[in-house]
Structure 1
């Protein structure tokens, strides 16, 4: 039976198969497009809004503190590798990209850091800009320590054997590189291991030689730059005493152990210079303390030793500790006094011109 519908031409059929002018085609396409965008938004929006926050949050061991060492000269890629190995970032590319975006690569500092797993990359970068926040690899050497005491401190802080450190701490090992050691006696570095806080964290594993050279470099920077020659001429003019750079260091070490405050140091130095000028013995308990390694008794002061300034005139053979810059400057520019005696406690001081005054000060305060 013949269809009642009007027959369509081929062109009309082709057009119909392509959608023709039907309104349903564009609408359906738009709906599908919107659906796809919605799915992409759900998947990508968290990353677009938080960068790599979701990656950081997915790291294992969340909240655990991890120490990482950044070597000297490390660029963004090397730092990223170290952080990735420590489990602190999910991938290196995100870190490098963020560093480049912030243009801070040259501001990232080497050293030892403590980070918390899950910490944002921005926070990690901020800390790397601020500098090391770990105490690992740091060594604080206070004023007034001997080589032996310094060696024990180095062993405690850095794990370097105290025995190895003392064996290495010989002037002959360093005099070629540090000419100021040419006057050192007994092949000793006593007095030259400069008191300061040092950071060896970027070295990974420092050696005794590394530590000693850092201390000698600091001495060269802080002491050798002082006008020691000018001070020696002033002392010659004022007291008639010839002093070498090494003599100044030696007397400064005695002042360091006798004085309690920086204000006392020039007066203590003046007292010792007045004694040297008068041909008196220094009579410093501290010099025998160098021998005993601690307290000094009346019997100790009767024992023969080149460090017993109750029995021997002049200075000790070597410094008795590493003095502070304040003590060195006090010896370079002592107070102008007539003092020949002093009695100092942790809270008070008495400087005297005569022995009777000195005995009176002791009697009143014991």
Structure 2
């Protein structure tokens, strides 16, 4: 009898523990689910840079997006995605489960509000200002004044303090932005400078130091590479040509720097244009121009920091978008003739 009672007691205790475990499981499972599966009204939350799981759970709980902070933190731990969380604004609603919220934050599915502005690679500051003004994001004169006065941004962007940076030209990184309609001109430009500062990583800065170059020199040369190249594969080769010319004191002779002189891009650079008296005329002046001539993308920046090792001094376009390269002027003239003959042949066939 005593043995049976003990057995019954053990069975009873096990049953209670089992029921408790099931209850805990059901409770936890339900707490991981949507706050309100019928409410699809959007809720925008902002996760600050460097937020801990505790901070994130507080924000989500305050906005009624999670039912239980402890359970949410458990969900994060089980997902092993805490290190992947990205700061920014997120658009959620109360139908989101813990898992869906965690996935969105780990993938960085940030909510982009504001006016969408796309700055193409190779844009000049004039073109950037035109895009912004067309979007009704500020005044042209205010932008031009700020762009010519980097000191206005010294507090937030220390790299601008380098002695040879006299303009923001080249440092307004080309990308797609979502800008608040009430943002000031300085705030808009700061957004682009922040993007550049993020893209221009410590690894790239270390490489710059290895080359014994300033940031301005890198971006200046990269801006020319950006305007001269069509295919990414050509960028490191084009950079090598310009490095080789600089090394021997040869003018860069880039049509892109000539184009920068004009308010609007010309269809073709003429021989008379090459005679223009301007510090941006790289046919008449040796070395780099006074400032960058465009905002280069990351591929042109990398190509400038990691150029191919070549002996090339010349390059000329091919009809397929690439280039022919040569080490001497005689071969260069042959490639120029090939290009002109091919261009004329194609134009003739189109007209027939």
- Answer yes or no: same fold by TM over 0.5: yes
Please give the secondary structure, in 2, of the residue aligned with 1:112.
strand
**1:310 is aligned to 2:290:** no
What CA distance in whole angstroms lies between the structure 2 residues aligned with 1:356 and 1:127?
56
Determine helix, strand or coil for the equivalent of 2:288: coil
Among 216, 219, 223, the alignment partner of 1:253 is 223
Shift of 1:318: 0.6
Q: Is the 8 A contact 1:259 1:268 kept in 2?
A: yes
C-alpha offsets along residues 102-143 of structure 1, whole Å, 9 cap, x if unaligned? 355993654222335644455345434543343437877654
Question: How far off its partner does 1:188 sit?
Answer: 0.1
Q: Residue 35 of structure 2 contacts residue 96 of structure 2 at CA under 8 Å; is this kept in 1? A: no
Equivalent residue, structure 2, for 1:287? 257
Map 1:69-148 onto structure 2 (within 5 A): 69-72=45-48, 73=51, 74-82=55-63, 84=64, 89=65, 94-96=67-69, 98-100=71-73, 102=75, 107=82, 110-115=87-92, 118-120=95-97, 122-136=99-113, 143-148=121-126
For 1:253 and 1:148, the matched residues in 2 are separated by 14
CA distance in 1, matches of 2:176, 2:309: 30
Pairing 1:228–2:208 present:
yes
Kindly indicate whether the alpha-carbon contact (under 8 Å) linking 1:194 and 1:218 is maintained by their aligned counterparts in 2: no
**Distance between the aligned counterparts of 2:313 and 2:56, measured in 1?**
60
Q: Is the 8 A contact 2:90 2:111 kept in 1?
A: yes
Kept in 1: contact 2:151–2:160 (CA 8 A): no
Cα displacement (A) at 1:99: 1.6
Note the C-alpha offset of 1:230: 3.5
* In structure 2, distance between residues paired with 1:188 and 1:325: 20
Q: Give the Å deviation of 1:302.
A: 4.8
- Please say if residues 288 and 301 of structure 1, whose CA atoms lie closer than 8 Å, have aligned partners that are also in contact: yes
Return closer, same or farther for 1:351/1:200 CA change in 2, 3 Å cut-off: same
Are 1:171 and 2:150 an aligned pair?
yes
DSSP 3-state at the match of 2:91: strand
Q: Which residue of 2 aligns with 1:321?
A: 294
What residue in structure 1 maps to residue 138 of structure 2?
A: 161
Shift of 1:71: 3.6
Q: Contact 2:254–2:282 (CA<8 Å) still a contact in 1?
A: yes
Cα deviation, 1:282-326, whole Å, max 9, x if unaligned, reads: 222211222334334326545433222234333211111233454
TM-score using structure 1 length: 0.62
Query: Alignment length, in residue pairs?
Result: 294
Can you give the 5+ residue segments of structure 1 that lack an aligned partner in the other structure?
A: 1-46, 233-242
RMSD over aligned Cα, in angstroms? 4.3
Q: SS state of the match for residue 324, structure 2?
A: strand
CA–CA distance in 2 between the matches of 1:156 and 1:244?
34
Contact 1:192–1:215 under 8 Å retained in 2:
no
Cα contact 1:191–1:319 (8 A) shared by 2:
yes
Asked if the contact 1:146/1:322 (under 8 Å) is kept, the reply is yes
**Residue 188 (str. 1) matches residue 188 (str. 2):** no
Q: In the aligned structure 2, how far is the partner of 1:100 from the partner of 1:227?
A: 41
1:238 matched residue in structure 2: none
1:211 correspondence with 2:191:
yes
CA contact (8 A) 1:67 1:112 kept: no
SS in 2 for 1:68: strand
1:37-90 deviations in Å (ceiling 9; x for gaps): xxxxxxxxxx9798377972443xx4x6x25132414432322333x4xxxx5x
Question: Which protein has the larger Cα radius of gyration, Structure 1 or Structure 2?
Answer: 1
TM superposition shift of 1:182: 1.8
